[in-house]
Chains A and B, each alone.
Chain A
């Protein structure tokens, strides 16, 4: 508990944590609020698109989970900044058993990731609700909110833990964070969009799977497709994300134990 208290203090004593939460809220809002309008706008290119369809309304609400990128950036910062600014020295002098330090960091990162995702998802959900309020016929079921919250909790914890492992692996925080942004925002999204068979195994595909939204609207312009037909269901998605968390936590432990502190 001492180490968790210490790691928690490291997190809340710095302003950057609140910056990451603000960033996640911003991304969730700018993804969720315009989603209703953009779906309405592509009716001509994507036959069958209608906010009368509860699944498409759920897809709009699903945009509220877009802030997970910041859970990754937060996880990287939790360990990477410490090595970069030399704070790791005092940490390991106080607790030379590094595995205990890493476990404390993983617990705090998971908790902070959940907090960040729950706050940003709830606010994004409200943003989506505001956007959809312009379309009185747009209705969906209450399970959408429940699925979204489960997805936000699990993705917040898993993605932050992955961030900690990446922060342990890549010594330069800026490079690690930039790489994570490019991977999650560009590479993974393109794979998920154009190669769902493989994309469904990636964290973004699994997060989509957790939301359990069933849509299959295909366009001649592939980037306009809205299809979740190829993704896993919530159960398998959760299990696979937890396996990701375990693998990345293992990698982080292995790297931390072998690394000399400079």
Chain B
């Protein structure tokens, strides 16, 4: 059974159709890349999946259930969304304690996840003093608070330097080895080729293709396949 399913998902904002009739699925225990150019509708589709936006029609389900209907969502799904979601005037550890309290997770877990993402030393710094890479790691720490099996990551590599990207790649692979299912959106194709098992590509809100990395790229690179598919769909 698919762990995440988009079923005819459409999301419109007045005259703009951000996602149109998206039907796709994510299999358990794999890293799935959710790819598309800027403005393709990736973030909108993920927001619908996480009940941050209401679909105009269709649905986005996690284990057959809408996110808002999960009994303890943070224990099932950990999410990183582009905008971060932290109070910049508050320290990293306090931001995590705020989120932990809302989900009924103990304060000690905040320290554990900070250690997982190598932020223990910076725990008492205000988030506004964090570098972009540190903020991304803090977002991942927040996603891991509930020890979820599924991770949904929206552009987690955005703005990271090469060391940060390498850290993220190894970190995600380690999580996948431990049985996590990961859906990761990105437009950094070279990086995705090294990280993901399966690929979902959308353009202008529509699904272009879905399959394993080897099926999609054949003997070429992900970038070549991506450009060919996007141009063919235009």
Give residues of chain B (85-108) contacting chain A, Cβ–Cβ below 8 Å. Answer: 85-90, 94-95, 97-99, 101-104
| Contact B87 A93, beta carbon cutoff 8 Å | no
Residue among A3, A10, A94, A96 with the highest chain B CB neighbour number at 10 A: A94
Give residues of chain B (14-55) contacting chain A, Cβ–Cβ below 8 Å. Answer: 47, 50-54
| Contact B83 A93, beta carbon cutoff 8 Å | no
Please tell me the size bucket of the interface on B.
20 to 34
* Measured CA separation A208–B124 after assembly (Å): 45
Interface status of A134 (Cβ within 8 A of chain B): no
| Contact A87 B86, beta carbon cutoff 8 Å | yes
- Chain A interface main SS type: helix
| Contact B73 A96, beta carbon cutoff 8 Å | yes
With contact pairs A14-B90, A94-B74, A262-B83 given, residues A89 and B52 touching in the complex (Cβ less than 8 Å): yes
Give residues of chain A (223-262) contacting chain B, Cβ–Cβ below 8 Å. Answer: 260-262
Chain B: minimal CB distance from A259 (Å)? 9
| Contact A87 B101, beta carbon cutoff 8 Å | no
B133: which A residues are within 8 A, CB to CB? none
* Measured CA separation A94–B81 after assembly (Å): 13
With contact pairs A2-B104, A260-B54 given, residues A94 and B87 touching in the complex (Cβ less than 8 Å): no
Interface status of B8 (Cβ within 8 A of chain A): no
A10: which B residues are within 8 A, CB to CB? 87, 98
| Contact A2 B83, beta carbon cutoff 8 Å | no
Q: Which residue of A lies closest to B84 (CB)?
A: A86
Give residues of chain A (1-54) contacting chain B, Cβ–Cβ below 8 Å. Answer: 2-3, 5-6, 9-10, 13-15
Q: Indicate which residue in B53, B54, B85, B89 contacts A93 across the interface (CB closer than 8 Å).
A: B85
* Measured CA separation A119–B181 after assembly (Å): 51
Q: Indicate which residue in A13, A91, A92, A95 contacts B90 across the interface (CB closer than 8 Å).
A: A13
Q: Which residue of A lies closest to B139 (CB)?
A: A90
Interface status of A153 (Cβ within 8 A of chain B): no
* Measured CA separation A85–B83 after assembly (Å): 9
| Contact B67 A96, beta carbon cutoff 8 Å | yes
| Contact B86 A9, beta carbon cutoff 8 Å | no
Chain B: minimal CB distance from A257 (Å)? 9
| Contact B94 A13, beta carbon cutoff 8 Å | yes
Give residues of chain A (44-92) contacting chain B, Cβ–Cβ below 8 Å. Answer: 81, 85-92
Interface status of A97 (Cβ within 8 A of chain B): yes
Q: Which residue of B lies closest to A92 (CB)?
A: B52
Q: Which residue of A lies closest to B44 (CB)?
A: A260
Q: Which residue of A lies closest to B103 (CB)?
A: A94
Chain A: minimal CB distance from B33 (Å)? 21
| Contact B85 A9, beta carbon cutoff 8 Å | no
Q: Indicate which residue in A13, A81, A95 contacts B102 across the interface (CB closer than 8 Å).
A: A95
Chain A: minimal CB distance from B164 (Å)? 20
| Contact B53 A260, beta carbon cutoff 8 Å | yes
Chain B: minimal CB distance from A55 (Å)? 46
Interface status of B142 (Cβ within 8 A of chain A): yes
* Measured CA separation A71–B211 after assembly (Å): 55
B95: which A residues are within 8 A, CB to CB? 90
| Contact A9 B98, beta carbon cutoff 8 Å | yes
B54: which A residues are within 8 A, CB to CB? 260
Q: Which residue of B lies closest to A260 (CB)?
A: B53
| Contact B86 A90, beta carbon cutoff 8 Å | yes
| Contact B98 A13, beta carbon cutoff 8 Å | yes
| Contact A2 B85, beta carbon cutoff 8 Å | no
* Measured CA separation A147–B47 after assembly (Å): 49
With contact pairs A14-B89, A94-B103 given, residues A86 and B51 touching in the complex (Cβ less than 8 Å): no
B73: which A residues are within 8 A, CB to CB? 93-96
* Measured CA separation A91–B52 after assembly (Å): 10
| Contact A2 B101, beta carbon cutoff 8 Å | yes
Q: Which residue of A lies closest to B86 (CB)?
A: A87
| Contact A87 B85, beta carbon cutoff 8 Å | yes
| Contact B86 A2, beta carbon cutoff 8 Å | no
Chain A: minimal CB distance from B109 (Å)? 13
Interface status of B68 (Cβ within 8 A of chain A): yes
* Measured CA separation A144–B81 after assembly (Å): 53
Interface status of B79 (Cβ within 8 A of chain A): yes
With contact pairs A6-B98, A10-B98, A13-B98 given, residues A96 and B86 touching in the complex (Cβ less than 8 Å): no
B98: which A residues are within 8 A, CB to CB? 6, 9-10, 13, 90
Q: List 18 A-B contacts (CB under 8 A).
A: A2-B102, A3-B101, A5-B102, A6-B98, A14-B87, A14-B89, A14-B90, A85-B86, A86-B85, A89-B84, A91-B85, A92-B51, A92-B52, A94-B102, A95-B102, A96-B67, A96-B68, A262-B83
With A3-B102, A13-B87, A96-B50 already in contact, 5 other A-B pairs whose C-beta atoms are closer than 8 Å: A87-B86, A90-B98, A93-B52, A93-B79, A260-B54
